[in-house]
Structure 1
Amino acid sequence: MDVGVEHVRYELLAEVGQGSHGRVYRARRLGGDQRLLAVKKFNVPADASANGIPAFMIREVALLRKMKYFNHPNIVQLLDASVVPVDRSLDLTLVLEYIDQDLSTFLSKAPASGLSRDRIKDVMLQLLQGLDFLHTNMVLHRDLKPENILVSSQGEVKIADFGLARMYTFNIALTPGVVTLWYRAPEVLLNSVYMSSVDMWSAGCIFAELFLLRPLFQAYTEVQQLQKIFEVLGLPSEEDWPPDSPISYSVSWGPTVPCTKLLHNLGPDESDLLAKCLAFRPSGRISAAKALAHPFFTRH
């Protein structure tokens, strides 16, 4: 498969992660600057490769190629991609810029007193710039969580892992099982139609986590997750419930009165931005572009 990128020669140093479809390694470029790289290796078994490369792999490569063309500072950069037949299976390799920690690791190292307001503002600004770029280019990430956001030692924030991302057009059929549960928007939990606003819900959950140093909504089933959300936000009105959801509205879902404040100890600007990211109705949720112009970022 010609992926239109230079071929990078590298040496694998250590395995740093493993997913359901492949492994991630730290590697070093051979020759030149010998800089560190991230190498993702996927193996497509013979029975699957008979039908070609799985769609999610093609999607990740295609989206990263599109992103590479623009070279956005808040999107992880693809340096190389190749597919090699091995016996009767296929090996797909992606070579990406290397960043040694994700946001989850970064938060685990934060002082007990929490991150400074300026640090939180800087992380969110970069995250939203990356999201605004994706949404402007009609890309939904669909799996935004601290593990998929990289933070370099220089404080650069980059969105990574496009395995679940989709290019979207109007009326596209989108799969419901996306976004890790704790960061999943209500419309996804309710099997309703969704668009780029799902990423803004996830960004809101991450915004809260930067203050709390723990996830805002933690549950282990989809029903529990909805209940956790309603405990904090209050139960929406029946008019706001998605009409296409197979799950029916019931007053037993949670309290009808929301918490007076989503989080304590937040100033008015932070509280307002958080509430706008975590609006129950997708149409009422703030966009990345509007969030970047919010007083939380613009007011000195």
Structure 2
Amino acid sequence: MQPSLKTTLSLAATLAIGTAAHAVEFRSSDVHNSDDYPTVAAVRHMSELLAKASSGKHKIKVFNKGALGSEKETIDQVKIGALDLTRVNISPMNSICAKTQVPTMPFLFRSVEHMRKALDGPAGEEILKSCEDQGFIGLAFYDSGARSIYGNKPVKTVADAKGMKIRVQQSDLWVALVSAMGANATPMPIGEVYTGLKTKLIDAAENNIPSYDGFKHFEAVKYYSRTEHSMAPEMLLMSKTVWDKLPKAEQDMIRAAAKESVAFQRRKWDEQEAKSLAIVKAGGAEIVEVDKASFQGVMSPVYSKFMTTDDLKRLVKTIQDTK
């Protein structure tokens, strides 16, 4: 069971955790443009909690707008300890720690409530912990909403996706997921998507409503087809190299502040989704309802290809059985 912030504060007081040589301003990365984007705001909130718990000794400075590189680049930096923390979508971690593939699987979660309960439980903790061997401390899962396809035409059934060039994250699993729809998966960094859509290099992309709004993709393509094919979460990761140099009491403070930032992020996320939906509709976007079953019906090859071990299959079942 994770320590609460209150417990950790008491622990900090009793142990007088001035054992680290000096105060640290940890650096954390995020690719989102808005300073108020839920994940950016959540890590800043975590910094406030950490500063309070450490009597002002430690805090976190968030570099968003991709200032420190793409998600893949910041993952590489965190692994070697050149960067302290990064907030990334779970997908770039799929090839690094296998268990992170599980929450990425298509149509795994029945609802937002189901996703939150499953990731807050033992399955979520197991997935976060599974990255330690690869040099990452998984601190928390943040919401990333339901991902859907948006492009230059409505996609109401899986047949409509056939032959479309759809941007995906740089992940084998995402390539397989979109390919299963009969589309041409086109991996590219998020920063290149707007131009790709504008110049018709790609026909479509897939993401959540706040990203469709925040990256201004709704200005380039007007049809947002609610496939809701994945609720792949975000991950907040810390460098194990940096973590291992900290006293246990300070590690507990960081972990507790990260866990407490999750509720904050979820509130911000729910608010942002409603706000972004209103913005894209006002900007001329059309929200298209789809035949979701037609998309679900073609996804079994994705499970066969990636859920290949008993361990992964067990995790899928644990999540599906979460009530």
Q: TM-score range by the shorter chain?
A: under 0.3
The TM-score normalised by the length of structure 2 is 0.25
Q: Taking CA–CA contacts closer than 8 Å with sequence separation of 6 or more, which of the two structures ends up with the larger relative contact order?
A: 2
Q: Between Structure 1 and Structure 2, which shows a larger proportion of helix residues? A: 2
